[in-house]
Structure 1
Protein backbone atom coordinates (compact mmCIF):
# COMPACT_ATOMS: atom_id res chain seq x y z
CA UNK A 1 0.00 0.00 0.00
CA UNK A 2 1.46 3.37 -1.00
CA UNK A 3 2.08 6.17 1.48
CA UNK A 4 -0.59 8.77 2.12
CA UNK A 5 0.72 12.32 1.89
CA UNK A 6 -0.71 15.24 3.86
CA UNK A 7 0.02 18.87 3.08
CA UNK A 8 0.82 20.50 6.42
CA UNK A 9 2.04 24.06 6.93
CA UNK A 10 4.15 24.45 3.82
CA UNK A 11 5.21 20.92 2.90
CA UNK A 12 4.01 17.39 2.23
CA UNK A 13 4.54 14.88 5.02
CA UNK A 14 3.54 11.25 5.47
CA UNK A 15 0.26 10.65 7.29
CA UNK A 16 1.99 9.26 10.37
CA UNK A 17 4.14 12.41 10.59
CA UNK A 18 1.25 14.87 10.16
CA UNK A 19 1.03 16.56 13.56
CA UNK A 20 -0.04 20.00 14.76
CA UNK A 21 0.83 21.91 17.92
CA UNK A 22 -1.49 21.66 20.93
CA UNK A 23 -1.27 25.46 20.92
CA UNK A 24 -2.91 25.72 17.50
CA UNK A 25 -6.09 27.75 17.96
CA UNK A 26 -7.92 25.47 15.56
CA UNK A 27 -7.48 22.75 18.20
CA UNK A 28 -7.93 24.97 21.26
CA UNK A 29 -10.93 26.99 20.08
CA UNK A 30 -12.17 25.64 16.76
CA UNK A 31 -10.84 28.88 15.28
CA UNK A 32 -10.55 28.29 11.56
CA UNK A 33 -12.41 27.36 8.40
CA UNK A 34 -12.55 24.36 6.11
CA UNK A 35 -13.89 22.97 2.86
CA UNK A 36 -14.80 19.45 1.77
CA UNK A 37 -14.28 18.92 -1.97
CA UNK A 38 -14.73 15.90 -4.24
CA UNK A 39 -12.64 14.49 -7.04
CA UNK A 40 -14.42 12.52 -9.76
CA UNK A 41 -12.30 10.79 -12.40
CA UNK A 42 -9.52 13.34 -11.88
CA UNK A 43 -11.90 16.31 -11.95
CA UNK A 44 -12.12 18.45 -8.80
CA UNK A 45 -15.81 19.29 -8.88
CA UNK A 46 -16.76 22.97 -8.51
CA UNK A 47 -13.22 23.85 -7.42
CA UNK A 48 -13.64 27.56 -8.05
CA UNK A 49 -16.87 27.69 -6.01
CA UNK A 50 -15.22 25.87 -3.11
CA UNK A 51 -12.24 28.22 -3.18
CA UNK A 52 -14.50 31.26 -3.24
CA UNK A 53 -16.45 30.00 -0.23
CA UNK A 54 -13.25 29.13 1.65
CA UNK A 55 -11.76 32.58 1.13
CA UNK A 56 -15.07 34.28 1.97
CA UNK A 57 -15.30 32.27 5.20
CA UNK A 58 -11.74 33.27 6.09
CA UNK A 59 -12.36 36.93 5.29
CA UNK A 60 -15.49 36.96 7.44
CA UNK A 61 -13.48 35.91 10.52
CA UNK A 62 -10.40 38.02 9.65
CA UNK A 63 -8.26 34.97 8.94
CA UNK A 64 -5.50 35.45 6.36
CA UNK A 65 -4.83 32.40 4.20
CA UNK A 66 -1.09 32.37 3.40
CA UNK A 67 -1.66 31.54 -0.27
CA UNK A 68 -3.47 33.13 -3.16
CA UNK A 69 -6.45 31.20 -4.53
CA UNK A 70 -4.37 30.18 -7.54
CA UNK A 71 -1.52 28.96 -5.34
CA UNK A 72 -3.85 26.97 -3.10
CA UNK A 73 -5.61 25.47 -6.10
CA UNK A 74 -2.26 24.24 -7.42
CA UNK A 75 -1.31 22.80 -4.01
CA UNK A 76 -4.64 20.95 -3.78
CA UNK A 77 -4.12 19.51 -7.26
CA UNK A 78 -0.61 18.46 -6.28
CA UNK A 79 -2.01 16.75 -3.18
CA UNK A 80 -4.47 14.77 -5.29
CA UNK A 81 -1.80 13.78 -7.81
CA UNK A 82 0.78 12.94 -5.12
CA UNK A 83 -1.70 10.53 -3.52
CA UNK A 84 -2.51 9.13 -6.98
CA UNK A 85 -6.28 9.48 -6.62
CA UNK A 86 -8.79 9.81 -9.46
CA UNK A 87 -11.81 9.61 -7.12
CA UNK A 88 -11.48 10.99 -3.61
CA UNK A 89 -12.58 13.45 -0.95
CA UNK A 90 -10.41 16.48 -0.18
CA UNK A 91 -10.46 18.20 3.20
CA UNK A 92 -8.86 21.66 3.24
CA UNK A 93 -8.40 23.11 6.73
CA UNK A 94 -7.16 26.61 7.52
CA UNK A 95 -6.64 27.09 11.25
CA UNK A 96 -5.71 30.31 13.01
CA UNK A 97 -2.35 28.75 13.78
CA UNK A 98 -0.13 28.50 16.83
CA UNK A 99 -0.75 31.01 19.61
CA UNK A 100 -0.91 30.87 23.39
CA UNK A 101 -3.63 29.65 25.75
CA UNK A 102 -5.40 32.99 25.52
CA UNK A 103 -8.28 33.63 23.14
CA UNK A 104 -6.64 36.52 21.27
CA UNK A 105 -6.21 35.52 17.58
CA UNK A 106 -3.61 38.27 17.17
CA UNK A 107 -1.20 36.09 19.14
CA UNK A 108 -1.24 33.59 16.25
CA UNK A 109 1.51 34.60 13.85
CA UNK A 110 0.48 32.58 10.80
CA UNK A 111 -2.46 30.45 9.71
CA UNK A 112 -1.86 26.72 9.40
CA UNK A 113 -2.86 24.95 6.18
CA UNK A 114 -3.78 21.26 6.11
CA UNK A 115 -4.87 19.32 3.01
CA UNK A 116 -5.98 15.69 3.26
CA UNK A 117 -6.94 13.54 0.26
CA UNK A 118 -8.48 10.11 0.68
CA UNK A 119 -11.46 7.97 -0.40
CA UNK A 120 -14.67 8.56 1.56
CA UNK A 121 -18.12 6.99 1.70
CA UNK A 122 -20.41 8.86 4.10
CA UNK A 123 -23.32 6.42 3.68
CA UNK A 124 -23.27 2.70 2.81
CA UNK A 125 -23.68 2.14 -0.94
CA UNK A 126 -26.98 0.23 -0.59
CA UNK A 127 -28.70 3.26 0.98
CA UNK A 128 -28.37 5.15 -2.31
CA UNK A 129 -30.61 2.46 -3.83
CA UNK A 130 -33.05 2.07 -0.93
CA UNK A 131 -33.10 5.58 0.58
CA UNK A 132 -32.59 6.86 4.12
CA UNK A 133 -34.81 6.86 7.17
CA UNK A 134 -34.22 10.00 9.24
CA UNK A 135 -35.66 11.79 12.28
CA UNK A 136 -36.02 15.36 13.52
CA UNK A 137 -33.79 16.10 16.51
CA UNK A 138 -34.20 18.41 19.50
CA UNK A 139 -30.95 20.28 18.80
CA UNK A 140 -31.76 23.53 17.00
CA UNK A 141 -29.69 25.34 14.40
CA UNK A 142 -27.52 28.17 15.66
CA UNK A 143 -29.24 31.47 14.92
CA UNK A 144 -27.78 32.85 11.69
CA UNK A 145 -27.71 36.40 13.08
CA UNK A 146 -25.41 35.16 15.87
CA UNK A 147 -23.12 32.86 13.88
CA UNK A 148 -23.50 32.84 10.11
CA UNK A 149 -23.91 29.37 8.61
CA UNK A 150 -22.11 30.72 5.55
CA UNK A 151 -18.88 30.67 7.55
CA UNK A 152 -17.84 27.03 7.28
CA UNK A 153 -15.93 27.07 10.53
CA UNK A 154 -14.02 24.40 12.44
CA UNK A 155 -16.48 24.79 15.31
CA UNK A 156 -18.95 22.12 14.19
CA UNK A 157 -20.38 21.21 17.59
CA UNK A 158 -23.90 22.22 16.58
CA UNK A 159 -23.78 19.66 13.76
CA UNK A 160 -21.99 17.04 15.85
CA UNK A 161 -24.80 17.13 18.44
CA UNK A 162 -27.32 16.48 15.65
CA UNK A 163 -25.34 13.47 14.45
CA UNK A 164 -25.14 12.15 18.04
CA UNK A 165 -28.92 12.33 18.37
CA UNK A 166 -29.32 10.58 15.02
CA UNK A 167 -27.04 7.75 16.11
CA UNK A 168 -28.88 7.39 19.43
CA UNK A 169 -32.06 6.93 17.39
CA UNK A 170 -30.29 4.35 15.20
CA UNK A 171 -30.56 6.38 11.99
CA UNK A 172 -27.86 7.78 9.72
CA UNK A 173 -28.97 11.40 9.48
CA UNK A 174 -31.41 13.89 10.98
CA UNK A 175 -33.29 17.11 10.30
CA UNK A 176 -32.30 20.20 12.26
CA UNK A 177 -34.87 22.95 12.76
CA UNK A 178 -34.13 26.60 13.47
CA UNK A 179 -35.42 28.50 16.51
CA UNK A 180 -38.69 29.28 14.68
CA UNK A 181 -39.39 25.65 13.81
CA UNK A 182 -38.47 25.83 10.13
CA UNK A 183 -36.34 23.10 8.58
CA UNK A 184 -32.72 24.30 8.28
CA UNK A 185 -30.59 21.35 7.18
CA UNK A 186 -29.19 17.99 8.23
CA UNK A 187 -26.06 17.47 10.29
CA UNK A 188 -23.93 17.75 7.15
CA UNK A 189 -26.44 18.01 4.30
CA UNK A 190 -28.86 20.38 2.66
CA UNK A 191 -32.51 19.34 2.42
CA UNK A 192 -34.79 19.33 -0.64
CA UNK A 193 -38.46 18.45 -0.97
CA UNK A 194 -40.58 18.01 -4.09
CA UNK A 195 -44.24 19.03 -4.03
CA UNK A 196 -46.42 19.12 -7.12
CA UNK A 197 -43.33 18.49 -9.22
CA UNK A 198 -41.64 21.66 -7.89
CA UNK A 199 -38.35 21.75 -6.01
CA UNK A 200 -37.99 23.51 -2.64
CA UNK A 201 -34.99 24.01 -0.35
CA UNK A 202 -34.55 26.20 2.74
CA UNK A 203 -33.03 29.65 2.11
CA UNK A 204 -29.80 30.69 3.80
CA UNK A 205 -31.55 33.08 6.19
CA UNK A 206 -33.25 30.22 8.08
CA UNK A 207 -29.81 28.77 8.90
CA UNK A 208 -28.96 26.66 5.85
CA UNK A 209 -25.47 26.57 4.41
CA UNK A 210 -25.39 27.56 0.76
CA UNK A 211 -23.97 24.17 -0.15
CA UNK A 212 -21.98 23.69 -3.34
CA UNK A 213 -23.87 20.47 -4.16
CA UNK A 214 -27.13 22.22 -3.20
CA UNK A 215 -26.44 24.97 -5.72
CA UNK A 216 -25.39 22.43 -8.36
CA UNK A 217 -28.68 20.55 -7.95
CA UNK A 218 -30.67 23.78 -8.30
CA UNK A 219 -28.68 24.59 -11.43
CA UNK A 220 -29.33 21.13 -12.88
CA UNK A 221 -33.02 21.31 -11.98
CA UNK A 222 -33.45 24.62 -13.78
CA UNK A 223 -31.69 23.21 -16.84
CA UNK A 224 -34.28 20.41 -16.74
CA UNK A 225 -37.08 23.00 -16.54
CA UNK A 226 -38.03 22.39 -12.91
CA UNK A 227 -39.45 25.25 -10.93
CA UNK A 228 -37.01 25.83 -8.07
CA UNK A 229 -37.80 27.76 -4.89
CA UNK A 230 -35.71 28.78 -1.89
CA UNK A 231 -38.47 29.08 0.70
CA UNK A 232 -38.91 28.22 4.39
CA UNK A 233 -40.88 25.06 5.11
CA UNK A 234 -41.87 23.02 8.14
CA UNK A 235 -41.86 19.36 9.11
CA UNK A 236 -45.45 19.13 7.87
CA UNK A 237 -44.23 20.06 4.40
CA UNK A 238 -41.57 17.36 4.64
CA UNK A 239 -44.04 14.72 5.83
CA UNK A 240 -46.43 15.45 2.96
CA UNK A 241 -43.82 15.89 0.21
CA UNK A 242 -43.82 13.66 -2.86
CA UNK A 243 -40.06 13.20 -2.52
CA UNK A 244 -37.33 14.23 -0.09
CA UNK A 245 -33.59 14.08 -0.65
CA UNK A 246 -30.37 15.35 0.90
CA UNK A 247 -27.33 16.85 -0.80
CA UNK A 248 -23.76 17.43 0.29
CA UNK A 249 -20.19 17.15 -0.91
CA UNK A 250 -19.65 13.96 1.05
CA UNK A 251 -23.23 12.63 0.83
CA UNK A 252 -23.70 13.68 -2.83
CA UNK A 253 -27.45 13.14 -3.54
CA UNK A 254 -29.40 10.61 -1.48
CA UNK A 255 -33.14 9.98 -1.19
CA UNK A 256 -35.04 10.04 2.11
CA UNK A 257 -37.91 7.55 2.28
CA UNK A 258 -39.09 7.97 5.89
CA UNK A 259 -39.06 10.95 8.28
CA UNK A 260 -40.14 10.62 11.94
CA UNK A 261 -41.96 7.42 11.05
CA UNK A 262 -43.85 8.99 8.12
CA UNK A 263 -43.31 7.25 4.79
CA UNK A 264 -42.38 9.71 2.05
CA UNK A 265 -44.17 9.14 -1.26
CA UNK A 266 -44.09 5.45 -2.15
CA UNK A 267 -41.35 4.71 0.36
CA UNK A 268 -38.66 4.36 -2.33
CA UNK A 269 -36.36 6.86 -4.09
CA UNK A 270 -38.57 8.88 -6.43
CA UNK A 271 -38.24 9.52 -10.14
CA UNK A 272 -37.45 13.23 -9.73
CA UNK A 273 -34.62 12.40 -7.33
CA UNK A 274 -33.28 9.80 -9.77
CA UNK A 275 -33.44 12.31 -12.65
CA UNK A 276 -31.55 14.95 -10.69
CA UNK A 277 -29.00 12.40 -9.52
CA UNK A 278 -28.39 11.36 -13.13
CA UNK A 279 -27.77 14.99 -14.07
CA UNK A 280 -25.45 15.39 -11.11
CA UNK A 281 -23.42 12.31 -12.11
CA UNK A 282 -22.90 13.82 -15.55
CA UNK A 283 -21.89 17.24 -14.24
CA UNK A 284 -19.32 16.11 -11.65
CA UNK A 285 -16.87 14.94 -14.32
CA UNK A 286 -17.33 18.07 -16.45
CA UNK A 287 -17.49 21.12 -14.19
CA UNK A 288 -14.29 21.79 -12.26
CA UNK A 289 -10.52 21.56 -12.48
CA UNK A 290 -8.87 18.63 -14.25
CA UNK A 291 -6.10 17.69 -11.83
CA UNK A 292 -3.70 15.89 -14.10
CA UNK A 293 -4.05 18.37 -16.98
CA UNK A 294 -3.28 21.24 -14.60
CA UNK A 295 -0.33 19.37 -13.10
CA UNK A 296 1.09 18.74 -16.56
CA UNK A 297 0.83 22.47 -17.32
CA UNK A 298 2.48 23.43 -14.02
CA UNK A 299 5.33 20.96 -14.55
CA UNK A 300 5.88 22.23 -18.07
CA UNK A 301 6.50 25.81 -16.90
Structure 2
Protein backbone atom coordinates (compact mmCIF):
# COMPACT_ATOMS: atom_id res chain seq x y z
CA UNK A 1 0.00 0.00 0.00
CA UNK A 2 1.28 3.41 -0.88
CA UNK A 3 0.90 6.80 0.73
CA UNK A 4 -1.56 8.98 -1.13
CA UNK A 5 -2.79 12.54 -0.63
CA UNK A 6 -6.17 13.96 -1.57
CA UNK A 7 -5.73 17.71 -2.04
CA UNK A 8 -9.10 19.41 -2.47
CA UNK A 9 -10.36 16.37 -4.37
CA UNK A 10 -7.26 15.73 -6.49
CA UNK A 11 -5.34 12.51 -5.74
CA UNK A 12 -1.60 13.15 -5.79
CA UNK A 13 1.61 11.50 -4.65
CA UNK A 14 3.18 12.96 -1.48
CA UNK A 15 5.90 14.64 -3.54
CA UNK A 16 3.22 16.49 -5.52
CA UNK A 17 1.10 17.52 -2.52
CA UNK A 18 1.85 21.22 -2.31
CA UNK A 19 0.16 23.73 -0.01
CA UNK A 20 0.57 27.49 -0.28
CA UNK A 21 3.05 29.08 2.12
CA UNK A 22 0.28 31.62 2.73
CA UNK A 23 -2.15 28.97 3.98
CA UNK A 24 -3.26 29.82 7.51
CA UNK A 25 -2.92 26.22 8.62
CA UNK A 26 0.80 26.48 7.83
CA UNK A 27 1.28 30.02 9.16
CA UNK A 28 -0.83 29.91 12.32
CA UNK A 29 -2.09 26.38 12.92
CA UNK A 30 -5.49 27.80 11.88
CA UNK A 31 -6.97 24.42 11.04
CA UNK A 32 -8.83 21.42 12.41
CA UNK A 33 -8.10 17.77 11.83
CA UNK A 34 -8.95 14.17 12.66
CA UNK A 35 -6.94 10.96 12.74
CA UNK A 36 -8.81 7.81 11.80
CA UNK A 37 -7.64 4.23 11.40
CA UNK A 38 -9.01 1.21 9.60
CA UNK A 39 -9.85 -2.31 10.70
CA UNK A 40 -10.15 -4.76 7.84
CA UNK A 41 -9.68 -1.79 5.53
CA UNK A 42 -12.74 0.04 6.91
CA UNK A 43 -12.53 3.33 8.84
CA UNK A 44 -13.45 2.81 12.52
CA UNK A 45 -15.90 5.17 14.24
CA UNK A 46 -15.93 7.36 11.13
CA UNK A 47 -19.16 9.14 12.04
CA UNK A 48 -17.81 10.08 15.48
CA UNK A 49 -14.63 11.44 13.93
CA UNK A 50 -16.46 13.48 11.30
CA UNK A 51 -18.89 14.79 13.93
CA UNK A 52 -15.94 15.94 16.02
CA UNK A 53 -14.31 17.51 12.96
CA UNK A 54 -17.46 19.55 12.38
CA UNK A 55 -17.59 20.46 16.08
CA UNK A 56 -13.95 21.59 16.04
CA UNK A 57 -14.56 23.72 12.96
CA UNK A 58 -17.57 25.31 14.63
CA UNK A 59 -15.63 26.12 17.79
CA UNK A 60 -13.09 28.17 15.81
CA UNK A 61 -15.66 29.55 13.33
CA UNK A 62 -14.05 27.78 10.37
CA UNK A 63 -16.28 26.86 7.43
CA UNK A 64 -14.92 23.55 6.05
CA UNK A 65 -14.55 23.12 2.32
CA UNK A 66 -16.33 19.75 2.54
CA UNK A 67 -19.37 18.71 4.53
CA UNK A 68 -19.45 15.31 6.26
CA UNK A 69 -20.90 13.46 3.26
CA UNK A 70 -18.25 14.84 0.91
CA UNK A 71 -15.49 14.12 3.43
CA UNK A 72 -16.70 10.52 3.79
CA UNK A 73 -16.76 10.08 0.01
CA UNK A 74 -13.26 11.52 -0.40
CA UNK A 75 -11.89 9.31 2.38
CA UNK A 76 -13.36 6.22 0.68
CA UNK A 77 -12.01 7.29 -2.70
CA UNK A 78 -8.52 7.92 -1.33
CA UNK A 79 -8.47 4.61 0.55
CA UNK A 80 -9.48 2.71 -2.58
CA UNK A 81 -6.82 4.41 -4.69
CA UNK A 82 -4.09 3.79 -2.09
CA UNK A 83 -4.60 0.03 -1.89
CA UNK A 84 -1.72 -2.19 -2.88
CA UNK A 85 0.67 -4.86 -1.72
CA UNK A 86 3.06 -4.12 1.11
CA UNK A 87 5.69 -6.08 2.98
CA UNK A 88 4.48 -7.05 6.47
CA UNK A 89 6.25 -5.47 9.43
CA UNK A 90 7.39 -8.37 11.65
CA UNK A 91 7.45 -6.13 14.74
CA UNK A 92 3.96 -4.71 14.24
CA UNK A 93 1.07 -5.81 16.40
CA UNK A 94 -0.87 -8.40 14.37
CA UNK A 95 -4.04 -6.31 14.35
CA UNK A 96 -2.18 -3.36 12.77
CA UNK A 97 -0.70 -5.21 9.81
CA UNK A 98 -2.11 -4.07 6.49
CA UNK A 99 -4.23 -1.32 8.06
CA UNK A 100 -4.36 2.36 7.13
CA UNK A 101 -3.81 5.65 8.91
CA UNK A 102 -6.08 8.45 7.69
CA UNK A 103 -5.57 12.12 8.48
CA UNK A 104 -8.24 14.64 7.49
CA UNK A 105 -7.24 18.31 7.65
CA UNK A 106 -9.39 21.37 7.04
CA UNK A 107 -7.66 24.77 7.01
CA UNK A 108 -9.18 28.22 6.84
CA UNK A 109 -7.25 28.69 3.59
CA UNK A 110 -4.72 31.11 2.15
CA UNK A 111 -4.81 34.89 2.03
CA UNK A 112 -2.85 37.97 2.95
CA UNK A 113 -0.53 37.60 5.92
CA UNK A 114 -2.27 38.69 9.11
CA UNK A 115 -4.12 37.18 12.05
CA UNK A 116 -7.57 38.40 11.00
CA UNK A 117 -9.52 35.27 9.87
CA UNK A 118 -11.36 37.43 7.34
CA UNK A 119 -8.14 37.54 5.28
CA UNK A 120 -8.59 33.86 4.36
CA UNK A 121 -9.89 33.29 0.84
CA UNK A 122 -10.42 29.59 0.03
CA UNK A 123 -10.68 26.86 2.68
CA UNK A 124 -8.47 23.85 2.02
CA UNK A 125 -9.36 20.17 2.50
CA UNK A 126 -6.77 17.38 2.70
CA UNK A 127 -6.93 13.62 3.22
CA UNK A 128 -3.70 11.70 3.81
CA UNK A 129 -3.75 7.89 3.66
CA UNK A 130 -0.66 5.90 4.57
CA UNK A 131 0.24 2.52 6.08
CA UNK A 132 -0.61 2.41 9.78
CA UNK A 133 2.45 2.57 12.00
CA UNK A 134 1.26 1.80 15.50
CA UNK A 135 3.22 0.70 18.57
CA UNK A 136 5.08 -2.61 18.15
CA UNK A 137 3.62 -5.80 19.56
CA UNK A 138 6.06 -5.77 22.48
CA UNK A 139 4.66 -2.42 23.68
CA UNK A 140 1.32 -4.11 24.35
CA UNK A 141 2.98 -7.14 25.94
CA UNK A 142 5.35 -5.19 28.18
CA UNK A 143 3.79 -1.73 28.48
CA UNK A 144 5.47 1.63 27.90
CA UNK A 145 6.98 4.32 30.15
CA UNK A 146 5.27 7.68 30.63
CA UNK A 147 6.34 10.86 32.38
CA UNK A 148 4.48 13.77 33.93
CA UNK A 149 6.12 16.75 32.26
CA UNK A 150 6.60 20.35 33.33
CA UNK A 151 4.84 21.72 30.25
CA UNK A 152 1.27 22.59 31.23
CA UNK A 153 -1.93 22.04 29.29
CA UNK A 154 -3.22 25.32 27.87
CA UNK A 155 -5.94 26.94 29.95
CA UNK A 156 -9.51 26.22 28.88
CA UNK A 157 -9.97 30.00 28.92
CA UNK A 158 -7.32 30.32 26.22
CA UNK A 159 -8.09 27.42 23.87
CA UNK A 160 -11.24 25.31 23.76
CA UNK A 161 -9.99 21.77 24.54
CA UNK A 162 -12.94 20.23 22.69
CA UNK A 163 -11.58 21.56 19.38
CA UNK A 164 -8.93 19.40 17.71
CA UNK A 165 -6.86 22.09 16.02
CA UNK A 166 -3.55 22.22 14.21
CA UNK A 167 -1.88 24.39 16.88
CA UNK A 168 0.35 21.82 18.60
CA UNK A 169 3.42 23.56 20.00
CA UNK A 170 2.50 22.81 23.62
CA UNK A 171 2.29 19.10 22.90
CA UNK A 172 5.44 19.14 20.75
CA UNK A 173 7.38 20.58 23.69
CA UNK A 174 5.77 18.08 26.06
CA UNK A 175 6.88 15.16 23.89
CA UNK A 176 10.38 16.62 23.64
CA UNK A 177 10.59 16.74 27.44
CA UNK A 178 9.23 13.21 27.83
CA UNK A 179 11.58 11.70 25.27
CA UNK A 180 14.54 13.40 26.94
CA UNK A 181 13.48 11.60 30.13
CA UNK A 182 13.27 8.25 28.33
CA UNK A 183 9.47 8.15 28.30
CA UNK A 184 7.17 7.13 25.47
CA UNK A 185 4.31 9.49 26.33
CA UNK A 186 4.06 12.86 28.05
CA UNK A 187 1.28 13.40 30.59
CA UNK A 188 0.28 17.03 31.12
CA UNK A 189 -1.10 18.75 34.20
CA UNK A 190 -3.17 21.91 34.29
CA UNK A 191 -2.08 25.03 36.16
CA UNK A 192 -3.76 23.73 39.33
CA UNK A 193 -1.74 20.52 39.22
CA UNK A 194 -4.50 18.16 38.09
CA UNK A 195 -3.91 15.50 35.44
CA UNK A 196 -5.41 16.35 32.05
CA UNK A 197 -4.25 14.12 29.18
CA UNK A 198 -1.30 12.82 27.23
CA UNK A 199 0.34 14.68 24.38
CA UNK A 200 -1.82 12.70 21.95
CA UNK A 201 -3.83 10.42 24.19
CA UNK A 202 -6.32 10.20 27.02
CA UNK A 203 -5.14 8.71 30.30
CA UNK A 204 -6.82 6.13 32.54
CA UNK A 205 -5.95 4.70 35.95
CA UNK A 206 -7.23 1.53 37.59
CA UNK A 207 -7.39 1.61 41.37
CA UNK A 208 -9.02 -1.11 43.51
CA UNK A 209 -10.92 -2.30 40.46
CA UNK A 210 -12.26 1.15 39.57
CA UNK A 211 -11.56 2.65 36.16
CA UNK A 212 -10.68 6.33 36.62
CA UNK A 213 -10.14 9.06 34.04
CA UNK A 214 -10.18 12.87 34.12
CA UNK A 215 -13.56 14.41 33.24
CA UNK A 216 -14.05 16.56 30.15
CA UNK A 217 -14.28 19.55 32.51
CA UNK A 218 -10.57 19.02 33.29
CA UNK A 219 -9.82 20.59 29.91
CA UNK A 220 -9.26 17.52 27.78
CA UNK A 221 -10.15 16.48 24.27
CA UNK A 222 -13.19 14.20 24.10
CA UNK A 223 -11.31 11.28 22.60
CA UNK A 224 -13.22 8.94 20.31
CA UNK A 225 -11.34 5.94 21.68
CA UNK A 226 -11.88 7.25 25.21
CA UNK A 227 -15.64 7.21 24.63
CA UNK A 228 -15.52 3.64 23.31
CA UNK A 229 -13.47 2.49 26.31
CA UNK A 230 -15.86 4.11 28.79
CA UNK A 231 -18.78 2.41 27.05
CA UNK A 232 -17.06 -0.98 27.08
CA UNK A 233 -16.01 -0.65 30.73
CA UNK A 234 -19.56 0.13 31.83
CA UNK A 235 -20.95 -2.71 29.70
CA UNK A 236 -18.49 -5.07 31.41
CA UNK A 237 -19.80 -4.01 34.82
CA UNK A 238 -16.62 -2.23 35.84
CA UNK A 239 -16.99 0.78 38.17
CA UNK A 240 -16.16 3.87 36.11
CA UNK A 241 -15.46 7.33 37.52
CA UNK A 242 -14.72 10.48 35.56
CA UNK A 243 -12.97 12.30 38.36
CA UNK A 244 -10.23 14.86 38.97
CA UNK A 245 -6.87 13.11 39.36
CA UNK A 246 -3.67 14.29 40.99
CA UNK A 247 -0.22 12.93 40.09
CA UNK A 248 -0.33 10.88 43.31
CA UNK A 249 -3.41 9.06 41.99
CA UNK A 250 -1.40 7.91 38.99
CA UNK A 251 1.66 7.08 41.06
CA UNK A 252 -0.33 4.82 43.41
CA UNK A 253 -2.62 3.25 40.81
CA UNK A 254 -2.68 -0.50 40.25
CA UNK A 255 -2.73 0.01 36.49
CA UNK A 256 -2.35 2.85 34.00
CA UNK A 257 -3.14 2.95 30.31
CA UNK A 258 -3.49 5.50 27.55
CA UNK A 259 -5.96 5.52 24.69
CA UNK A 260 -5.90 6.96 21.20
CA UNK A 261 -7.03 6.08 17.70
CA UNK A 262 -3.71 4.59 16.62
CA UNK A 263 -2.65 3.09 19.97
CA UNK A 264 -6.07 1.73 21.00
CA UNK A 265 -5.46 0.82 24.67
CA UNK A 266 -1.76 0.87 25.52
CA UNK A 267 -0.53 -0.18 28.99
CA UNK A 268 1.74 2.18 30.92
CA UNK A 269 4.00 0.18 33.22
CA UNK A 270 6.40 2.89 34.37
CA UNK A 271 5.66 6.44 35.45
CA UNK A 272 8.78 8.53 35.74
CA UNK A 273 11.27 6.47 37.73
CA UNK A 274 8.66 4.26 39.37
CA UNK A 275 7.00 1.01 38.41
CA UNK A 276 3.22 1.04 37.95
CA UNK A 277 1.58 -1.75 39.93
CA UNK A 278 3.27 -5.06 39.17
CA UNK A 279 5.28 -3.51 36.36
CA UNK A 280 3.32 -5.54 33.80
CA UNK A 281 0.09 -4.80 31.90
CA UNK A 282 -2.72 -5.32 34.40
CA UNK A 283 -5.81 -7.54 34.16
CA UNK A 284 -8.31 -4.71 33.72
CA UNK A 285 -6.22 -3.14 30.97
CA UNK A 286 -5.92 -6.48 29.17
CA UNK A 287 -9.62 -7.19 29.57
CA UNK A 288 -10.60 -3.82 28.14
CA UNK A 289 -8.17 -4.12 25.26
CA UNK A 290 -9.59 -7.53 24.35
CA UNK A 291 -13.11 -6.08 24.44
CA UNK A 292 -12.00 -3.12 22.33
CA UNK A 293 -10.39 -5.36 19.72
CA UNK A 294 -13.56 -7.43 19.51
CA UNK A 295 -15.72 -4.31 19.09
CA UNK A 296 -13.40 -2.82 16.48
CA UNK A 297 -13.22 -5.88 14.28
CA UNK A 298 -16.90 -6.90 14.25
- TM-score where L is the length of structure 2: 0.92
Q: Is the 8 A contact 1:43 1:285 kept in 2?
A: no
- Residue 61 of structure 1 is matched in structure 2 by 60
- Residue 38 of structure 2 is matched in structure 1 by 39
Q: 1:56-80 CA distances to partner (integer Å, 9 max, x unpaired)? A: 1001111111222111111111111
- Residue 141 of structure 1 is matched in structure 2 by 153
- Residue 108 of structure 1 is matched in structure 2 by 120
Q: Are 1:48 and 2:60 matched, yes or no?
A: no
Alignment of 1:280-291 (within 5 A): 280-286=292-298
CA shift for structure 1 position 122: 4.2
Count matched residues. Answer: 285
Question: Which ranges of structure 2 fall in alignment gaps of 5 or more residues?
Answer: 85-97
Q: Is the 8 A contact 2:108 2:120 kept in 1?
A: yes
- Residue 277 of structure 1 is matched in structure 2 by 289
* Mapped partners of 1:6, 1:174: distance in 2: 29
- Residue 92 of structure 2 is matched in structure 1 by none
* Mapped partners of 1:116, 1:191: distance in 2: 27
Q: Are 1:77 and 2:71 matched, yes or no?
A: no
Aligned partner (choices 213, 219, 222) of residue 201 of structure 1? 213
Q: 1:29-64 CA distances to partner (integer Å, 9 max, x unpaired)? A: 110100000111022111000000000100111111
CA shift for structure 1 position 282: 1.0
* Mapped partners of 2:3, 2:51: distance in 1: 27
The alignment yields a C-alpha RMSD, in angstroms, of: 1.3
- Residue 103 of structure 2 is matched in structure 1 by 91
CA shift for structure 1 position 125: 2.8
Aligned partner (choices 207, 225, 239) of residue 237 of structure 2? 225
- Residue 155 of structure 1 is matched in structure 2 by 167
- TM-score where L is the length of structure 1: 0.92
- Residue 236 of structure 1 is matched in structure 2 by 248
* Mapped partners of 2:247, 2:264: distance in 1: 22
* Mapped partners of 2:9, 2:130: distance in 1: 19
* Mapped partners of 1:145, 1:29: distance in 2: 19
* Mapped partners of 2:297, 2:79: distance in 1: 15
1:76 aligned counterpart, secondary structure: helix
Alignment of 1:7-26 (within 5 A): 7-26=6-25
Question: Which ranges of structure 1 fall in alignment gaps of 5 or more residues?
Answer: 287-301
Task: Give the ranges of 4+ consecutive aligned residues of structure 1 lying more than 3 Å apart after TM superposition.
Answer: none
* Mapped partners of 1:82, 1:147: distance in 2: 37
- Residue 27 of structure 1 is matched in structure 2 by 26
Q: Is the 8 A contact 1:99 1:105 kept in 2?
A: no
Q: Is the 8 A contact 1:97 1:111 kept in 2?
A: yes
- Residue 295 of structure 1 is matched in structure 2 by none
CA shift for structure 1 position 81: 1.2
CA shift for structure 1 position 15: 1.6
Q: 1:138-196 CA distances to partner (integer Å, 9 max, x unpaired)? A: 00000112211111000011111110001111221121111110110111110000111
CA shift for structure 1 position 123: 2.8
Q: Is the 8 A contact 1:41 1:285 kept in 2?
A: yes
Distance of aligned partners of 1:135 and 1:6 in 2 relative to their CA distance in 1, 3 Å threshold = same
